[in-house]
Structure 1
Amino acid sequence: MASKCSDSSTANLRSPSEIPLKYRHIFSQYETFNQVQSKVLDKVLYSNDPIVISAPTGSGKTAIFELAILRLLLKMEDLDYTDDFKIIYVAPVKALCMEKFTDWREKFEPVGVKCLEATGDSEVGDFSCLVSAKLVVTTPEKWDSLTRKWRDAESMMEAVKLFIIDEVHLVNEDVRGPTLEAVVSRMKTIRHIMKTKGEDEDFGLRFIAASATIPNIEDVAAWLGEDQPACFYRISESLRPVKLQKHVIGFNSSAQGFRFDMNLNYKLAAIVRRYSNDKPTLIFCSSRKSVEMASKVLADESSLVSLGDSRKFELQQVSRSIQDSKLKQLVMKGIAYHHAGLSYQDRAIIEDAFRKSVIVVLVCTNTLAMGVNFPAHLVIIKSTESYVCGKSQEYTESAILQMIGRAGRPQYDLTGVAVIMTQQKNVRLMDRNKMMLA
């Protein structure tokens, strides 16, 4: 039976002053840790236990990962550990990996922890590239390809002391779940081998896993545990730092599939004007084609985005840096799109411009739904239907929660708004699943 570490009650807020001065800059954005972070702090920072956390989007899970990293660093200092060590952070999308790598390189390299990004967009090809790195940011697919022949570099694999799994709910998905399961199972095997060799328990492999949506958290906790299940926290939506208003808008239409999706393009501008409060808007579409069509329709709307002289100049700078010709033209109107078909460089430029609120409306596929920290006040899901392996199906509740969770992030906003556009027949179903109307 998995051990539940805490209920959803409030916790006394903890202070970064608990952190040794050498590492306090890592948490410089916090005057105090929030309710979620404070609730798990003792277990993360003062124990070696494996932990699974299901907490609302925007509740500061990154800081929890950083506390776990700090636990390892402090423990090595206290016990004069001088052997090699590695920390692996696994996330499902490259955009999230790039964000974490950029952030953590600034925070951890000044204290001697060299960071490395290993994704399909990087040039990391084999184990030899990992030798000098201490903190590796990667995807399940890349770590799988790097570690399939792990016995050829067993000593390096045994140097992994902390394995962080972001968006662990992915393990429940049909397409990418098996890869994550294989990767974690491989690391569990290495943990067992280290234990049979008599590895010091203080420096065994520790798992930390988190997501906003883990329906089977007890099973995940049992899976990541060893002699006993991992400790788990299931934290209520009521502790989300930025409150989220949620609206479902149903449309009566005889059109289905692609035609229904196309018709919704012409409803978007009105929703943006009604709910955005002239703040950044993120619009999720089910395919690259849908993303580009929606962007074009929005760009044809007059005065959807306020374009003062300062913003026009900034947009010109962004446009000149972009390779994609269609995207160049859209950007000049304060609107852009983002999907895996763009080059790595273009995706990075668009993400940075949206983060700085230079681009105000960003239309994307759900590759930006997981974990990425954007200043979106409004999130719109344009149709709850997607095509998987050529078949039409409704988004899962988990997928919808991930997407609407991009609205109202603590660093940027005091409130957030999420609007789900769907067939009228689906509105009652979403209400029944407690997805709805706030």
Structure 2
Amino acid sequence: MAPPLLLDIEDELKTYLLCPENLPIHQYEKNQEFWPRKPNPIELLHYEGSPLCTTLKVHRNPNTGEITGFREVPIASAGATAKNSMSLNRDPAPPNEATRGNASFVPFWPGSFPVPEQKEASKVDDQNKDELLVVPPGFDRGLVFAEDGRTLLKESDQKKSTISTDTPSVINFLEIVQQEQNILGMFAAQEETEKERSTTIQRDALPEEEEILKETPVLNISTVPPQNTLKGGEWAVLLDTTKPVTNFEERIPNMAIKFPFELDIFQKLAILQLEQHNHVFVAAHTSAGKTVVAEYAIALSQRHMTRTIYTSPIKALSNQKYRDFKSTFKDVGLITGDFQINQTASCLIMTTEILRSMLYCGSDITRDLEYVIFDEVHYINDRERGHVWEQVLIMLPAHVCVILLSATVPNTVEFADWLGRTHQRKVYVVTTYKRPVPLQHYLYTGKGGSSRDNRFKILDADKWLMSGYTKAKESVTEKEKNPYQKMTPAQDKTLWSGLVSHLKKHDLLPVVAFTFSRQKCDNNAKNLTNLDLTTQKEKTHISLFFNKCIRCLKEPDQNIPQIVTMRDILTRGIGVHHSGILPIIKEIVEMLFQKGLIKLLFATETFAMGVNMPARTVVFDSIRKHDGKEMRDLEPAEYIQMAGRAGRRGLDKEGTVIILCKLGMIPPEDNLKKMMLGKPSSLVSQFRLTYSMVLSLLRVESLSVEGMMLRSFREADHQKGMVDIKKELELVEQQLEEISRQQISSYLQPLVRFYESASTYLRARQDIMASRSREL
């Protein structure tokens, strides 16, 4: 029989369980390694100095101002860093993290949250010294001092003093009776007597000083309400833009920037408020000149040697504003997902999401920030990104001045009132009531050929023209109407060729054609191969500019299909602009359109989001779009935003808006009236909780998710009535207190009976002790 190769199971288990000292965990020699340490005493001489925790303040004579002494006071920001303090006086962050901040930094204190009170270090009162522990654990007694507080008594001395102070054998009953006279009042409330004593002491304390103060006229500053704590009033102030500003030059003799044209009334009113560092909400029509207010704020901050942040909802608007402001102010930076240019500039242009990230990450730019400009504030209605605007407005520090630029919306005062109540500052609202360039709205029923001039006016200066709508319907035969058929590429090509020929004939170029499909934009531009809208001089200029811009790309990247295609169509004066275009090509298209070299631009609705590139004519390929859930007609705000691109101020007397009626399908009259004449959508809160917001707030102990929710625009109505609710609560509490004083509730009746019985017992005891004392 061969010997066993493995150990017996029972023996192996017994050895393993009964001999734990043989386990590998005890063999530390194989698990640990030791490195010999080399002593270096010189390192003890190098140390970092601790920050100063105190500073000196002087005492002055209030009459002469002479320094009478000094006192040492603590510094609240001593040792404060970006990781442990929300104060603006904390130590600056490293230079590489000063702009964008760091996820481990805490944000600066938001201006919408109440500043916490700094509690001074509590001093031990002599009256509570008996509550301090004096006997260490394991000892019979503690240290005992003599009456002078310095001499330490030994145990033998303490015994002698204890014997000498023992209670005498003779009892003084009279003293006991006098002490027990106060026992009857042990159940009575002492609050009223204590209040009477305190008021008596205060009245009799300093009679001479009070007489002097009564005679001396002194300004009572405590009764003057400070500007930043207005209560009970409206926080939004609507300025009147119908009356001219007569004393503008006298109030601002030296403007931060001078414009080569006469300012409108709403621009002057906004600039006056900027000079006083007030919050401003400018709600004006498209192309009315809201950018002038932003430019003056940037110039004012550069004069003050502070910083300004300009936020926009889309990258296209950020890129365009960077080019515009760069030519005017020079020291301008851009921070987007695609580009980071000159991040230390005095004026930074960025998207709102990046500003939110900077606030949460404690960017040091916030210290020098004077103005934050929010362009296209009506974008707060966006379901996906609207909550970002509310977060940023809530998280901004108190010293930052907010400038809101928006299209005309019905509830500007309501939104401004919420912002003012949140930051406890007045917000001045400036609005316009008419467009600087009126719009003419048309229906186009042509399909090329002999019908290419079928354009009918249906709206003139907000006046509906029924005759034009009737003519448009009469121009379409019943055979042409086919709602279930789609336009073929050949039909689209014929329609657009005829429309462009009609617009060119009537001098209505350049034109922006809004199409709610990226693929359709590309197809329309590619199908118009036979269309040439530029001269030979313009072709040369476009080619040179295009080649100069793409020269920064690598040689293989210069020949990718999109760049080759765009070079060809741009040369013929046709452009495409949507989110699927390369960033560099999109920027080339924007710059060429600004120079007037692109005559026909196919774009999606993002092009209308604040991009200051007006055209003479705007064409709607359709007035129905898919919003991610269903097909629907355009909202009045969306239509007005895109149609507002028509009409260049100073160049055109009127703007032209054309709606294409493909396949003879004319929109219903009610739908057109609602879209063209309807009121824009009101600003509605889209605030919602997100994981990133919750995690960012939980990092900071002083901020809470509930506090952020309470200050959102969604809770504006509740906050507006908070003052009245508090007054009602105080009134109800006072009524309950008066009722409780008048009648005692049933559950307190046993205590009343005990009080009466105890009083009877103590009175009887007092009588007995008094009689015994007389007998003695």
Normalising by structure 1, we get a TM-score of 0.79
Q: 2:292 aligns with which of 39, 52, 63?
A: 63
2:271 corresponds to which residue? Answer: 41
* Structure 2 counterpart of 1:3, one-letter code: A
Distance change (3 Å), C-alpha of 1:217 and 1:328: same
Residues 1:149 and 2:370 aligned together: no
> Residue 380 of structure 1 contacts residue 420 of structure 1 at CA under 8 Å; is this kept in 2?
yes
Distance change (3 Å), C-alpha of 1:215 and 1:295: farther
Q: d(CA) in 1 for partners of 2:657 and 2:496?
A: 13
Q: d(CA) in 2 for partners of 1:40 and 1:350?
A: 33
Aligned-partner SS, 1:430? helix
Distance change (3 Å), C-alpha of 1:68 and 1:319: closer
2:514 corresponds to which residue? Answer: 284
Distance change (3 Å), C-alpha of 1:99 and 1:424: same
Q: 1:227 aligns with which of 424, 434, 440?
A: 424
Distance change (3 Å), C-alpha of 1:149 and 1:349: same
Aligned-partner SS, 1:279? coil
Task: Show CA shifts across 1:312-357 (max 9, x none).
Answer: 3223335545652222221232111111212221111111111111
Residues 1:353 and 2:592 aligned together: yes
Percent identity reads 24
Moved more, 207-216 or 268-277: 268-277
Aligned-partner SS, 1:425? coil
Residues 1:314 and 2:541 aligned together: yes
Distance change (3 Å), C-alpha of 1:68 and 1:332: closer
Alignment length (residue pairs)? 392
What is the CA distance between 1:22 and its match in structure 2?
8.2
Q: d(CA) in 2 for partners of 1:310 and 1:243?
A: 33
Matches within 5 A, 1:293-304: 293-297=523-527, 299-302=528-531
Q: d(CA) in 1 for partners of 2:323 and 2:253?
A: 23
Distance change (3 Å), C-alpha of 1:433 and 1:362: closer
1:194 corresponds to which residue? Answer: none
Q: d(CA) in 1 for partners of 2:406 and 2:492?
A: 30
> Residue 308 of structure 2 contacts residue 346 of structure 2 at CA under 8 Å; is this kept in 1?
yes
> Residue 279 of structure 2 contacts residue 401 of structure 2 at CA under 8 Å; is this kept in 1?
yes
Q: d(CA) in 1 for partners of 2:329 and 2:538?
A: 34
Gaps of 5+ in 1: 77-81, 192-203
Task: Show CA shifts across 1:99-145 (max 9, x none).
Answer: 21122223223xxxx32111111137xxxx84x32211011122233
1:175 corresponds to which residue? Answer: 384
Aligned-partner SS, 2:403? strand
What is the CA distance between 1:264 and its match in structure 2?
6.2
What is the CA distance between 1:245 and its match in structure 2?
2.0
2:108 corresponds to which residue? Answer: none
> Residue 318 of structure 1 contacts residue 331 of structure 1 at CA under 8 Å; is this kept in 2?
no
Q: d(CA) in 2 for partners of 1:4 and 1:248?
A: 41
Aligned-partner SS, 2:620? strand
1:395 corresponds to which residue? Answer: 634
> Residue 241 of structure 2 contacts residue 265 of structure 2 at CA under 8 Å; is this kept in 1?
no
1:421 corresponds to which residue? Answer: 660
Residues 1:102 and 2:323 aligned together: yes
> Residue 339 of structure 1 contacts residue 365 of structure 1 at CA under 8 Å; is this kept in 2?
yes
Distance change (3 Å), C-alpha of 1:122 and 1:416: same
Distance change (3 Å), C-alpha of 1:42 and 1:157: closer
What is the CA distance between 1:173 and its match in structure 2?
1.6
> Residue 266 of structure 2 contacts residue 431 of structure 2 at CA under 8 Å; is this kept in 1?
no
1:195 corresponds to which residue? Answer: none
Q: d(CA) in 2 for partners of 1:233 and 1:90?
A: 20
What is the CA distance between 1:228 and its match in structure 2?
4.9
Task: Show CA shifts across 1:32-84 (max 9, x none).
Answer: 1134323433223x32221111111111111111223344455x3xxxxx7xx
Distance change (3 Å), C-alpha of 1:115 and 1:265: same
Task: Show CA shifts across 1:384-420 (max 9, x none).
Answer: 2222325323322212111111111225434321223
Q: d(CA) in 2 for partners of 1:94 and 1:15?
A: 36
What is the CA distance between 1:281 and its match in structure 2?
0.9
What is the CA distance between 1:2 and its match in structure 2?
5.1
What is the CA distance between 1:428 and its match in structure 2?
2.7
Residues 1:116 and 2:345 aligned together: no
Q: d(CA) in 2 for partners of 1:42 and 1:217?
A: 19
Q: d(CA) in 2 for partners of 1:2 and 1:17?
A: 28
Residues 1:341 and 2:580 aligned together: yes
Q: d(CA) in 1 for partners of 2:256 and 2:596?
A: 30
Normalising by structure 2, we get a TM-score of 0.46
- Of Structure 1 and Structure 2, the greater strand share is in 1
Aligned-partner SS, 2:402? strand
2:349 corresponds to which residue? Answer: 137
Moved more, 277-286 or 389-398: 389-398
Aligned-partner SS, 1:162? strand
> Residue 256 of structure 2 contacts residue 300 of structure 2 at CA under 8 Å; is this kept in 1?
no
1:3 corresponds to which residue? Answer: 236
- Tell which structure's C-alpha radius of gyration is larger: 2
Aligned-partner SS, 1:222? helix
> Residue 5 of structure 1 contacts residue 233 of structure 1 at CA under 8 Å; is this kept in 2?
yes
Q: d(CA) in 1 for partners of 2:502 and 2:237?
A: 42
Q: d(CA) in 1 for partners of 2:441 and 2:622?
A: 15
> Residue 104 of structure 1 contacts residue 115 of structure 1 at CA under 8 Å; is this kept in 2?
yes
Q: d(CA) in 2 for partners of 1:381 and 1:285?
A: 7
Identify which of structures 1 and 2 has the higher relative contact order when contacts are C-alpha pairs closer than 8 Å and 6+ apart. 1
Q: d(CA) in 1 for partners of 2:326 and 2:583?
A: 19
Aligned-partner SS, 2:393? helix
> Residue 2 of structure 1 contacts residue 218 of structure 1 at CA under 8 Å; is this kept in 2?
no
Q: d(CA) in 2 for partners of 1:334 and 1:16?
A: 45
> Residue 332 of structure 2 contacts residue 345 of structure 2 at CA under 8 Å; is this kept in 1?
yes
Q: d(CA) in 2 for partners of 1:51 and 1:23?
A: 18
Distance change (3 Å), C-alpha of 1:9 and 1:424: same
* Structure 2 counterpart of 1:283, one-letter code: A
Distance change (3 Å), C-alpha of 1:314 and 1:39: same
> Residue 282 of structure 2 contacts residue 405 of structure 2 at CA under 8 Å; is this kept in 1?
yes
> Residue 298 of structure 2 contacts residue 347 of structure 2 at CA under 8 Å; is this kept in 1?
no
* Structure 1 counterpart of 2:238, one-letter code: C
2:609 corresponds to which residue? Answer: 370
Gaps of 5+ in 2: 1-233, 446-475, 551-557, 679-776
Matches within 5 A, 1:162-201: 162-187=371-396, 190-191=397-398
Q: 1:211 aligns with which of 374, 397, 406?
A: 406
Moved more, 330-339 or 1-10: 1-10
1:196 corresponds to which residue? Answer: none
Distance change (3 Å), C-alpha of 1:173 and 1:229: farther
